[in-house]
Structure 1
Amino acid sequence: MKIDPNNPADLSAQIAAAIRDAIVAGKLIVDERLPSEAELSEHFEVSRSTVREALKRLAAQSLIRTQRGAFGGAFVNRLSYHDAYNQHITTSTLLLGMNNVSFDTACEARFALERACADLSAARRDADHLATMRAEIVRQAQPGLSDEAFCASDVAFHRALVDGAGNAVMSYQLAGAVEAMQPLMNMITFTARDRAEIVRVHERIADASAAQDGAAVSDALTELEAYTKALAQSVFAARAQTGAEGKAR
Protein backbone atom coordinates (compact mmCIF):
# COMPACT_ATOMS: atom_id res chain seq x y z
CA MET A 1 0.00 0.00 0.00
CA LYS A 2 1.45 3.30 -1.13
CA ILE A 3 0.55 6.98 -1.25
CA ASP A 4 2.02 9.92 -3.13
CA PRO A 5 3.23 12.62 -0.71
CA ASN A 6 3.37 15.07 -3.65
CA ASN A 7 -0.28 14.50 -4.49
CA PRO A 8 -2.36 17.55 -3.46
CA ALA A 9 -5.09 15.22 -2.20
CA ASP A 10 -5.44 14.93 1.58
CA LEU A 11 -2.99 12.35 2.95
CA SER A 12 -5.61 10.72 5.16
CA ALA A 13 -7.87 10.33 2.11
CA GLN A 14 -5.01 8.72 0.18
CA ILE A 15 -4.33 6.29 3.03
CA ALA A 16 -8.01 5.43 3.30
CA ALA A 17 -8.14 4.83 -0.46
CA ALA A 18 -5.04 2.61 -0.33
CA ILE A 19 -6.48 0.46 2.46
CA ARG A 20 -9.89 0.35 0.74
CA ASP A 21 -8.26 -0.82 -2.49
CA ALA A 22 -6.41 -3.54 -0.59
CA ILE A 23 -9.71 -4.72 0.90
CA VAL A 24 -11.46 -4.71 -2.48
CA ALA A 25 -8.55 -6.59 -4.06
CA GLY A 26 -8.70 -9.23 -1.32
CA LYS A 27 -5.26 -8.42 0.03
CA LEU A 28 -6.93 -7.66 3.34
CA ILE A 29 -9.69 -10.17 4.09
CA VAL A 30 -12.80 -10.02 6.28
CA ASP A 31 -12.02 -10.03 10.02
CA GLU A 32 -8.29 -9.53 9.39
CA ARG A 33 -6.64 -7.16 11.83
CA LEU A 34 -5.06 -4.11 10.24
CA PRO A 35 -1.56 -3.02 11.29
CA SER A 36 -1.54 -0.80 14.36
CA GLU A 37 -1.68 2.98 14.08
CA ALA A 38 2.04 3.12 14.83
CA GLU A 39 2.81 0.55 12.13
CA LEU A 40 0.63 2.32 9.58
CA SER A 41 2.21 5.64 10.52
CA GLU A 42 5.65 4.20 9.88
CA HIS A 43 4.56 2.46 6.67
CA PHE A 44 3.00 5.57 5.12
CA GLU A 45 5.52 7.95 6.74
CA VAL A 46 2.83 10.18 8.21
CA SER A 47 1.72 11.16 11.69
CA ARG A 48 -0.51 8.90 13.77
CA SER A 49 -3.21 11.60 13.72
CA THR A 50 -3.28 11.34 9.91
CA VAL A 51 -3.62 7.55 10.14
CA ARG A 52 -6.35 7.94 12.73
CA GLU A 53 -8.29 10.23 10.39
CA ALA A 54 -7.91 7.70 7.57
CA LEU A 55 -9.30 4.95 9.79
CA LYS A 56 -12.26 7.16 10.70
CA ARG A 57 -13.00 7.55 6.99
CA LEU A 58 -12.96 3.77 6.50
CA ALA A 59 -15.15 3.20 9.55
CA ALA A 60 -17.65 5.74 8.22
CA GLN A 61 -17.87 3.63 5.05
CA SER A 62 -18.39 0.49 7.18
CA LEU A 63 -15.23 -1.01 5.69
CA ILE A 64 -13.55 -1.47 9.06
CA ARG A 65 -14.59 -1.77 12.70
CA THR A 66 -12.57 -0.97 15.80
CA GLN A 67 -12.32 -2.93 19.04
CA ARG A 68 -10.79 -1.98 22.36
CA GLY A 69 -8.85 -4.11 24.75
CA ALA A 70 -5.84 -6.40 24.63
CA PHE A 71 -7.06 -8.03 21.43
CA GLY A 72 -8.43 -4.80 19.97
CA GLY A 73 -7.51 -2.76 16.96
CA ALA A 74 -9.00 -2.11 13.55
CA PHE A 75 -10.45 -5.05 11.63
CA VAL A 76 -11.78 -5.49 8.12
CA ASN A 77 -15.55 -5.44 8.40
CA ARG A 78 -18.00 -7.73 6.66
CA LEU A 79 -20.11 -5.23 4.76
CA SER A 80 -23.78 -6.13 4.99
CA TYR A 81 -26.40 -5.48 2.35
CA HIS A 82 -28.18 -3.29 4.90
CA ASP A 83 -25.12 -1.04 5.32
CA ALA A 84 -24.44 -0.93 1.57
CA TYR A 85 -28.13 -0.29 0.88
CA ASN A 86 -28.26 2.85 3.02
CA GLN A 87 -25.01 4.17 1.57
CA HIS A 88 -26.27 3.51 -1.95
CA ILE A 89 -29.43 5.54 -1.32
CA THR A 90 -27.40 8.45 0.04
CA THR A 91 -24.92 8.36 -2.85
CA SER A 92 -27.69 8.11 -5.46
CA THR A 93 -29.61 11.02 -3.92
CA LEU A 94 -26.50 13.23 -3.88
CA LEU A 95 -25.49 12.17 -7.39
CA LEU A 96 -28.88 13.01 -8.85
CA GLY A 97 -29.17 16.29 -6.97
CA MET A 98 -25.65 17.56 -7.64
CA ASN A 99 -25.52 16.68 -11.32
CA ASN A 100 -28.90 18.06 -12.37
CA VAL A 101 -30.13 14.77 -13.84
CA SER A 102 -33.22 15.51 -15.92
CA PHE A 103 -36.61 14.31 -14.77
CA ASP A 104 -37.12 12.19 -17.89
CA THR A 105 -33.72 10.53 -17.46
CA ALA A 106 -34.39 9.66 -13.81
CA CYS A 107 -37.93 8.51 -14.60
CA GLU A 108 -36.78 6.34 -17.50
CA ALA A 109 -34.05 4.72 -15.41
CA ARG A 110 -36.25 4.13 -12.39
CA PHE A 111 -39.06 2.38 -14.27
CA ALA A 112 -36.71 0.41 -16.54
CA LEU A 113 -34.94 -0.96 -13.48
CA GLU A 114 -38.21 -1.73 -11.70
CA ARG A 115 -39.66 -3.51 -14.74
CA ALA A 116 -36.51 -5.63 -14.82
CA CYS A 117 -37.63 -7.35 -11.61
CA ALA A 118 -41.33 -7.62 -12.50
CA ASP A 119 -41.21 -11.28 -13.60
CA LEU A 120 -39.13 -12.41 -10.63
CA SER A 121 -41.28 -10.48 -8.17
CA ALA A 122 -44.51 -11.90 -9.59
CA ALA A 123 -43.10 -15.41 -9.38
CA ARG A 124 -41.44 -15.18 -5.96
CA ARG A 125 -43.38 -12.61 -3.90
CA ASP A 126 -44.70 -14.01 -0.66
CA ALA A 127 -47.77 -13.21 1.42
CA ASP A 128 -45.91 -10.51 3.37
CA HIS A 129 -44.94 -8.61 0.21
CA LEU A 130 -48.52 -8.73 -1.06
CA ALA A 131 -49.85 -7.69 2.36
CA THR A 132 -47.49 -4.71 2.40
CA MET A 133 -48.60 -3.60 -1.05
CA ARG A 134 -52.29 -3.96 -0.12
CA ALA A 135 -51.77 -2.10 3.16
CA GLU A 136 -50.03 0.79 1.40
CA ILE A 137 -52.86 1.00 -1.14
CA VAL A 138 -55.37 1.33 1.70
CA ARG A 139 -53.16 3.98 3.30
CA GLN A 140 -52.84 5.93 0.05
CA ALA A 141 -56.63 6.03 -0.32
CA GLN A 142 -57.10 7.80 3.02
CA PRO A 143 -58.48 11.31 2.28
CA GLY A 144 -56.58 13.04 5.09
CA LEU A 145 -53.16 11.60 4.26
CA SER A 146 -50.48 14.28 3.98
CA ASP A 147 -48.36 14.63 0.84
CA GLU A 148 -45.30 13.58 2.81
CA ALA A 149 -47.04 10.44 4.11
CA PHE A 150 -48.39 9.62 0.64
CA CYS A 151 -44.88 9.86 -0.83
CA ALA A 152 -43.50 7.60 1.93
CA SER A 153 -46.28 5.09 1.27
CA ASP A 154 -45.55 5.23 -2.46
CA VAL A 155 -41.92 4.31 -1.79
CA ALA A 156 -42.93 1.51 0.61
CA PHE A 157 -45.28 0.04 -2.00
CA HIS A 158 -42.60 -0.12 -4.68
CA ARG A 159 -40.01 -1.32 -2.18
CA ALA A 160 -42.26 -4.32 -1.45
CA LEU A 161 -42.59 -5.00 -5.17
CA VAL A 162 -38.83 -4.92 -5.67
CA ASP A 163 -38.05 -6.98 -2.57
CA GLY A 164 -40.62 -9.52 -3.73
CA ALA A 165 -38.09 -10.63 -6.36
CA GLY A 166 -36.19 -12.33 -3.53
CA ASN A 167 -32.83 -11.20 -4.89
CA ALA A 168 -30.63 -9.25 -2.47
CA VAL A 169 -28.35 -7.96 -5.22
CA MET A 170 -31.32 -6.69 -7.23
CA SER A 171 -32.84 -5.06 -4.13
CA TYR A 172 -29.53 -3.31 -3.51
CA GLN A 173 -29.22 -2.12 -7.10
CA LEU A 174 -32.78 -0.81 -7.13
CA ALA A 175 -32.43 1.00 -3.80
CA GLY A 176 -31.20 4.08 -5.64
CA ALA A 177 -34.06 3.87 -8.12
CA VAL A 178 -36.89 3.39 -5.64
CA GLU A 179 -35.67 5.27 -2.58
CA ALA A 180 -33.58 8.00 -4.22
CA MET A 181 -35.10 8.68 -7.65
CA GLN A 182 -38.72 8.15 -6.65
CA PRO A 183 -38.80 10.73 -3.81
CA LEU A 184 -37.16 13.29 -6.10
CA MET A 185 -39.81 12.62 -8.76
CA ASN A 186 -42.57 12.81 -6.14
CA MET A 187 -41.35 16.25 -5.05
CA ILE A 188 -41.91 17.54 -8.58
CA THR A 189 -45.23 15.85 -9.38
CA PHE A 190 -47.10 15.72 -6.05
CA THR A 191 -49.04 18.94 -6.66
CA ALA A 192 -50.41 17.76 -10.00
CA ARG A 193 -51.12 14.09 -9.47
CA ASP A 194 -54.46 12.44 -8.96
CA ARG A 195 -54.05 10.12 -6.00
CA ALA A 196 -56.99 8.01 -7.14
CA GLU A 197 -55.21 7.35 -10.44
CA ILE A 198 -52.04 6.23 -8.68
CA VAL A 199 -54.05 4.01 -6.33
CA ARG A 200 -55.78 2.46 -9.36
CA VAL A 201 -52.48 1.58 -11.01
CA HIS A 202 -51.08 0.29 -7.72
CA GLU A 203 -54.10 -1.98 -7.44
CA ARG A 204 -53.35 -3.29 -10.93
CA ILE A 205 -49.78 -4.04 -9.87
CA ALA A 206 -50.87 -5.77 -6.66
CA ASP A 207 -53.52 -7.82 -8.48
CA ALA A 208 -51.03 -8.85 -11.14
CA SER A 209 -48.51 -9.82 -8.46
CA ALA A 210 -51.15 -11.87 -6.66
CA ALA A 211 -51.88 -13.65 -9.98
CA GLN A 212 -48.13 -14.12 -10.56
CA ASP A 213 -48.47 -12.32 -13.88
CA GLY A 214 -45.13 -10.61 -14.45
CA ALA A 215 -46.12 -9.22 -17.85
CA ALA A 216 -49.15 -7.47 -16.32
CA VAL A 217 -46.96 -6.02 -13.57
CA SER A 218 -44.59 -4.66 -16.21
CA ASP A 219 -47.49 -3.21 -18.25
CA ALA A 220 -48.85 -1.43 -15.17
CA LEU A 221 -45.41 0.03 -14.44
CA THR A 222 -45.23 1.29 -18.01
CA GLU A 223 -48.62 2.97 -17.55
CA LEU A 224 -47.40 4.54 -14.31
CA GLU A 225 -44.25 5.78 -16.05
CA ALA A 226 -46.30 7.46 -18.81
CA TYR A 227 -48.58 9.06 -16.22
CA THR A 228 -45.60 10.30 -14.16
CA LYS A 229 -43.92 11.84 -17.21
CA ALA A 230 -47.17 13.54 -18.25
CA LEU A 231 -47.52 15.02 -14.76
CA ALA A 232 -43.98 16.37 -14.90
CA GLN A 233 -44.58 17.95 -18.29
CA SER A 234 -47.67 19.73 -16.97
CA VAL A 235 -45.78 20.97 -13.92
CA PHE A 236 -42.84 22.25 -15.97
CA ALA A 237 -45.20 23.91 -18.45
CA ALA A 238 -47.06 25.67 -15.62
CA ARG A 239 -43.76 26.86 -14.13
CA ALA A 240 -42.62 28.18 -17.50
CA GLN A 241 -45.90 30.01 -17.95
CA THR A 242 -45.65 31.56 -14.48
CA GLY A 243 -42.08 32.61 -15.18
CA ALA A 244 -43.03 34.18 -18.50
CA GLU A 245 -45.90 36.09 -16.90
CA GLY A 246 -43.57 37.31 -14.13
CA LYS A 247 -41.08 38.67 -16.66
CA ALA A 248 -43.85 40.38 -18.63
CA ARG A 249 -44.94 42.43 -15.62
Structure 2
Amino acid sequence: MPPIDRSQGLARQIADSLQEEIMQGRLGVEDRLPSEQDLAERFEVSQPTVREAMKILAAKKLVRSKRGPKGGVFVAAPSLGTASQTLFETTNWLVSLGVFGLGDIVETRRLLGATCVRLAAERATEEDLARIEAALQDVNHSEVSDEEFCRLDVAFHHAVAEACHNAELNFIMVIVNDSLIPATNMISFKFRERDKVIAFHHEIHRAIAAHDPVAACAAFDGLISYQSNVYDNALHARDRKAGK
Protein backbone atom coordinates (compact mmCIF):
# COMPACT_ATOMS: atom_id res chain seq x y z
CA MET A 1 0.00 0.00 0.00
CA PRO A 2 1.50 3.39 -0.98
CA PRO A 3 1.90 5.89 1.86
CA ILE A 4 -0.82 8.47 2.38
CA ASP A 5 0.14 11.91 1.06
CA ARG A 6 -1.33 14.29 3.62
CA SER A 7 -1.11 17.21 1.23
CA GLN A 8 -3.85 15.50 -0.79
CA GLY A 9 -7.43 14.65 0.20
CA LEU A 10 -7.14 11.80 2.70
CA ALA A 11 -10.61 10.34 2.09
CA ARG A 12 -10.06 10.38 -1.67
CA GLN A 13 -6.72 8.58 -1.35
CA ILE A 14 -8.19 5.93 0.94
CA ALA A 15 -11.08 5.42 -1.49
CA ASP A 16 -8.63 5.13 -4.40
CA SER A 17 -6.53 2.59 -2.51
CA LEU A 18 -9.55 0.43 -1.66
CA GLN A 19 -10.90 0.79 -5.20
CA GLU A 20 -7.60 -0.56 -6.55
CA GLU A 21 -7.91 -3.57 -4.25
CA ILE A 22 -11.42 -4.20 -5.56
CA MET A 23 -10.41 -3.81 -9.20
CA GLN A 24 -7.44 -6.14 -8.78
CA GLY A 25 -9.58 -8.76 -7.07
CA ARG A 26 -7.90 -8.60 -3.68
CA LEU A 27 -11.34 -7.69 -2.35
CA GLY A 28 -13.98 -9.85 -4.05
CA VAL A 29 -17.69 -9.36 -4.59
CA GLU A 30 -19.60 -9.57 -1.29
CA ASP A 31 -16.37 -9.47 0.74
CA ARG A 32 -16.74 -7.45 3.92
CA LEU A 33 -14.39 -4.49 4.19
CA PRO A 34 -12.44 -4.04 7.43
CA SER A 35 -14.22 -2.04 10.13
CA GLU A 36 -13.94 1.75 10.30
CA GLN A 37 -11.64 1.41 13.28
CA ASP A 38 -9.38 -1.10 11.49
CA LEU A 39 -9.19 1.07 8.40
CA ALA A 40 -8.52 4.16 10.48
CA GLU A 41 -5.60 2.39 12.14
CA ARG A 42 -4.32 1.01 8.85
CA PHE A 43 -4.31 4.40 7.10
CA GLU A 44 -3.51 6.37 10.29
CA VAL A 45 -6.52 8.65 9.92
CA SER A 46 -9.68 9.38 11.89
CA GLN A 47 -12.83 7.29 11.58
CA PRO A 48 -14.81 10.22 10.08
CA THR A 49 -12.20 10.31 7.28
CA VAL A 50 -12.74 6.60 6.66
CA ARG A 51 -16.49 7.21 6.65
CA GLU A 52 -16.02 9.86 3.98
CA ALA A 53 -13.98 7.40 1.91
CA MET A 54 -16.82 4.88 2.16
CA LYS A 55 -19.22 7.52 0.82
CA ILE A 56 -16.97 8.01 -2.20
CA LEU A 57 -16.90 4.27 -2.89
CA ALA A 58 -20.67 4.01 -2.39
CA ALA A 59 -21.24 6.85 -4.86
CA LYS A 60 -19.30 4.80 -7.41
CA LYS A 61 -21.50 1.77 -6.61
CA LEU A 62 -18.40 -0.18 -5.56
CA VAL A 63 -19.60 -0.92 -2.03
CA ARG A 64 -22.91 -1.30 -0.21
CA SER A 65 -23.78 -1.03 3.48
CA LYS A 66 -25.74 -3.59 5.46
CA ARG A 67 -27.18 -3.04 8.93
CA GLY A 68 -27.57 -5.53 11.73
CA PRO A 69 -25.35 -7.97 13.66
CA LYS A 70 -23.89 -9.32 10.43
CA GLY A 71 -23.77 -5.90 8.82
CA GLY A 72 -20.92 -3.78 7.61
CA VAL A 73 -19.62 -2.48 4.29
CA PHE A 74 -19.42 -5.04 1.48
CA VAL A 75 -18.02 -5.03 -2.04
CA ALA A 76 -20.99 -4.59 -4.37
CA ALA A 77 -21.69 -6.85 -7.32
CA PRO A 78 -20.71 -5.15 -10.59
CA SER A 79 -23.50 -3.58 -12.61
CA LEU A 80 -23.24 -3.22 -16.38
CA GLY A 81 -25.71 -0.37 -16.20
CA THR A 82 -23.60 1.54 -13.70
CA ALA A 83 -20.40 0.95 -15.63
CA SER A 84 -22.09 1.98 -18.85
CA GLN A 85 -23.39 5.21 -17.29
CA THR A 86 -19.94 6.11 -15.97
CA LEU A 87 -18.30 5.52 -19.34
CA PHE A 88 -21.13 7.32 -21.12
CA GLU A 89 -20.60 10.44 -19.02
CA THR A 90 -16.85 10.37 -19.71
CA THR A 91 -17.34 9.80 -23.45
CA ASN A 92 -19.96 12.52 -23.72
CA TRP A 93 -17.61 14.93 -21.95
CA LEU A 94 -14.77 14.10 -24.36
CA VAL A 95 -17.07 14.62 -27.35
CA SER A 96 -18.25 17.99 -26.02
CA LEU A 97 -14.62 19.07 -25.55
CA GLY A 98 -13.79 18.10 -29.11
CA VAL A 99 -11.32 15.41 -28.05
CA PHE A 100 -13.32 13.00 -30.22
CA GLY A 101 -13.82 14.59 -33.64
CA LEU A 102 -16.66 13.80 -36.02
CA GLY A 103 -14.28 11.83 -38.23
CA ASP A 104 -13.37 9.60 -35.30
CA ILE A 105 -17.02 9.18 -34.35
CA VAL A 106 -18.08 8.21 -37.87
CA GLU A 107 -15.23 5.73 -38.21
CA THR A 108 -15.95 4.17 -34.81
CA ARG A 109 -19.65 3.78 -35.49
CA ARG A 110 -18.99 2.40 -38.97
CA LEU A 111 -16.51 -0.26 -37.81
CA LEU A 112 -18.24 -1.38 -34.60
CA GLY A 113 -21.75 -1.04 -35.98
CA ALA A 114 -20.92 -3.13 -39.05
CA THR A 115 -19.70 -5.96 -36.81
CA CYS A 116 -22.86 -5.64 -34.77
CA VAL A 117 -25.33 -5.82 -37.67
CA ARG A 118 -23.39 -8.68 -39.27
CA LEU A 119 -23.60 -10.76 -36.10
CA ALA A 120 -27.24 -9.78 -35.61
CA ALA A 121 -28.06 -11.00 -39.12
CA GLU A 122 -26.33 -14.29 -38.35
CA ARG A 123 -27.68 -14.83 -34.83
CA ALA A 124 -30.96 -12.96 -34.36
CA THR A 125 -33.79 -14.99 -32.81
CA GLU A 126 -37.49 -14.36 -33.20
CA GLU A 127 -37.43 -12.51 -29.88
CA ASP A 128 -34.60 -10.30 -31.16
CA LEU A 129 -36.47 -9.51 -34.35
CA ALA A 130 -39.57 -8.63 -32.36
CA ARG A 131 -37.51 -6.31 -30.17
CA ILE A 132 -35.99 -4.57 -33.21
CA GLU A 133 -39.41 -4.24 -34.80
CA ALA A 134 -40.81 -2.78 -31.59
CA ALA A 135 -38.06 -0.15 -31.67
CA LEU A 136 -39.31 0.84 -35.13
CA GLN A 137 -42.50 2.21 -33.63
CA ASP A 138 -45.14 3.30 -36.10
CA VAL A 139 -45.22 6.93 -35.05
CA ASN A 140 -45.39 10.13 -37.01
CA HIS A 141 -41.71 10.97 -36.88
CA SER A 142 -42.35 14.44 -38.25
CA GLU A 143 -44.24 15.38 -35.09
CA VAL A 144 -42.07 14.01 -32.27
CA SER A 145 -39.47 16.24 -30.66
CA ASP A 146 -35.80 16.07 -31.63
CA GLU A 147 -35.05 14.53 -28.22
CA GLU A 148 -37.70 11.83 -28.73
CA PHE A 149 -36.51 11.08 -32.25
CA CYS A 150 -32.97 10.73 -30.94
CA ARG A 151 -34.23 8.37 -28.22
CA LEU A 152 -35.99 6.22 -30.83
CA ASP A 153 -32.81 6.18 -32.93
CA VAL A 154 -30.74 5.00 -29.96
CA ALA A 155 -33.38 2.38 -29.01
CA PHE A 156 -33.22 0.88 -32.50
CA HIS A 157 -29.44 0.52 -32.39
CA HIS A 158 -29.61 -0.94 -28.87
CA ALA A 159 -32.05 -3.60 -30.09
CA VAL A 160 -29.71 -4.50 -32.95
CA ALA A 161 -26.76 -4.72 -30.55
CA GLU A 162 -28.67 -7.12 -28.28
CA ALA A 163 -29.34 -9.36 -31.28
CA CYS A 164 -25.60 -9.90 -31.87
CA HIS A 165 -25.49 -12.09 -28.70
CA ASN A 166 -22.06 -10.94 -27.63
CA ALA A 167 -22.23 -9.46 -24.14
CA GLU A 168 -19.02 -7.45 -24.39
CA LEU A 169 -19.80 -6.01 -27.81
CA ASN A 170 -23.32 -5.18 -26.65
CA PHE A 171 -21.86 -3.35 -23.65
CA ILE A 172 -19.48 -1.38 -25.88
CA MET A 173 -22.32 -0.50 -28.25
CA VAL A 174 -24.45 0.79 -25.37
CA ILE A 175 -21.70 3.31 -24.66
CA VAL A 176 -21.17 4.14 -28.33
CA ASN A 177 -24.87 4.59 -29.03
CA ASP A 178 -25.78 6.38 -25.78
CA SER A 179 -22.96 8.89 -26.05
CA LEU A 180 -22.15 9.40 -29.72
CA ILE A 181 -25.64 9.44 -31.25
CA PRO A 182 -27.01 12.21 -28.95
CA ALA A 183 -23.75 14.18 -29.24
CA THR A 184 -23.85 14.21 -33.03
CA ASN A 185 -27.60 14.77 -33.01
CA MET A 186 -26.98 18.15 -31.37
CA ILE A 187 -24.91 19.13 -34.40
CA SER A 188 -26.95 17.62 -37.21
CA PHE A 189 -30.63 17.61 -36.26
CA LYS A 190 -31.47 20.67 -38.40
CA PHE A 191 -29.98 19.06 -41.50
CA ARG A 192 -31.06 15.46 -41.05
CA GLU A 193 -34.09 14.10 -42.94
CA ARG A 194 -35.91 11.84 -40.51
CA ASP A 195 -37.62 9.80 -43.21
CA LYS A 196 -34.25 8.83 -44.68
CA VAL A 197 -32.93 7.69 -41.28
CA ILE A 198 -36.06 5.60 -40.68
CA ALA A 199 -35.84 4.11 -44.17
CA PHE A 200 -32.30 2.93 -43.42
CA HIS A 201 -33.51 1.47 -40.11
CA HIS A 202 -36.18 -0.55 -41.91
CA GLU A 203 -33.67 -1.69 -44.52
CA ILE A 204 -31.33 -2.92 -41.77
CA HIS A 205 -34.21 -4.67 -40.02
CA ARG A 206 -35.30 -6.44 -43.22
CA ALA A 207 -31.76 -7.67 -43.86
CA ILE A 208 -31.39 -8.96 -40.30
CA ALA A 209 -34.80 -10.68 -40.50
CA ALA A 210 -33.67 -12.33 -43.76
CA HIS A 211 -30.44 -13.40 -42.02
CA ASP A 212 -28.48 -11.65 -44.78
CA PRO A 213 -25.31 -10.22 -43.20
CA VAL A 214 -24.04 -8.73 -46.49
CA ALA A 215 -27.24 -6.76 -47.03
CA ALA A 216 -27.37 -5.74 -43.36
CA CYS A 217 -23.82 -4.36 -43.48
CA ALA A 218 -24.55 -2.55 -46.75
CA ALA A 219 -27.66 -0.92 -45.30
CA PHE A 220 -25.82 0.10 -42.15
CA ASP A 221 -22.94 1.52 -44.19
CA GLY A 222 -25.47 3.52 -46.19
CA LEU A 223 -26.90 4.95 -42.98
CA ILE A 224 -23.49 5.98 -41.66
CA SER A 225 -22.48 7.51 -45.01
CA TYR A 226 -25.71 9.52 -45.06
CA GLN A 227 -25.16 10.72 -41.50
CA SER A 228 -21.54 11.61 -42.29
CA ASN A 229 -22.74 13.85 -45.13
CA VAL A 230 -25.25 15.45 -42.79
CA TYR A 231 -22.48 16.20 -40.29
CA ASP A 232 -20.39 17.78 -43.04
CA ASN A 233 -23.30 19.98 -44.14
CA ALA A 234 -23.94 21.04 -40.55
CA LEU A 235 -20.30 21.98 -39.98
CA HIS A 236 -20.07 23.90 -43.26
CA ALA A 237 -23.20 25.84 -42.35
CA ARG A 238 -21.75 26.61 -38.91
CA ASP A 239 -18.50 27.81 -40.48
CA ARG A 240 -20.34 30.05 -42.95
CA LYS A 241 -22.35 31.57 -40.13
CA ALA A 242 -19.14 32.23 -38.20
CA GLY A 243 -17.61 33.86 -41.27
CA LYS A 244 -14.88 31.29 -41.71
Q: How many residues align?
A: 244
Q: Distance in 2 between matches of 1:3 and 1:227?
A: 55
Range with greater deviation from structure 2 (160-169 or 137-146): 137-146
Who is 1:234 aligned against? Answer: 233
Who is 2:198 aligned against? Answer: 199
Aligned-pair CA distance for 1:112: 1.5
Who is 2:128 aligned against? Answer: 129
Q: Distance in 2 between matches of 1:45 and 1:99?
A: 42
Query: The residue matched to 2:196 in structure 1 has which SS?
Result: helix
Is the CA contact 2:142–2:194 (under 8 Å) kept in the aligned structure 1?
Answer: no
Who is 2:148 aligned against? Answer: 149
TM-score, length-normalised on structure 2?
A: 0.92
The letter for the 2-side match of 1:5 is D
Q: Distance in 2 between matches of 1:120 and 1:61?
A: 33
Q: Distance in 2 between matches of 1:88 and 1:172?
A: 10
Aligned-pair CA distance for 1:99: 4.8
Who is 1:189 aligned against? Answer: 188
Q: Distance in 2 between matches of 1:141 and 1:3?
A: 61
Q: Distance in 1 between matches of 2:168 and 2:217?
A: 20
Aligned-pair CA distance for 1:134: 2.5
Is the CA contact 2:135–2:159 (under 8 Å) kept in the aligned structure 1?
Answer: no
The letter for the 2-side match of 1:4 is I
Is the CA contact 1:141–1:195 (under 8 Å) kept in the aligned structure 2?
Answer: no
Who is 1:215 aligned against? Answer: 214
Give unmatched runs, 5+ long, in structure 1. none
Q: Distance in 1 between matches of 2:139 and 2:50?
A: 50
Range with greater deviation from structure 2 (206-215 or 167-176): 167-176
Give unmatched runs, 5+ long, in structure 2. none
Who is 2:5 aligned against? Answer: 5
Query: The residue matched to 1:180 in structure 2 has which SS?
Result: helix
Q: Distance in 2 between matches of 1:55 and 1:99?
A: 34
Identity of aligned residues (%): 34
Is the CA contact 2:121–2:211 (under 8 Å) kept in the aligned structure 1?
Answer: yes
Note the alpha carbon deviations across 1:19-60, whole angstroms, 9 max, x for none: 111112221111111001111011001121221111111111
Query: The residue matched to 2:28 in structure 1 has which SS?
Result: coil
TM-score, length-normalised on structure 1?
A: 0.91
Note the alpha carbon deviations across 1:223-242, whole angstroms, 9 max, x for none: 11111111111111111111
Task: Map residues 1-249 of structure 1 onto 2, 5 A cutoff.
Answer: 1-6=1-6, 8-139=7-138, 141-244=140-243
Poorly superposed stretches of 4+, deviation over 6 Å: none
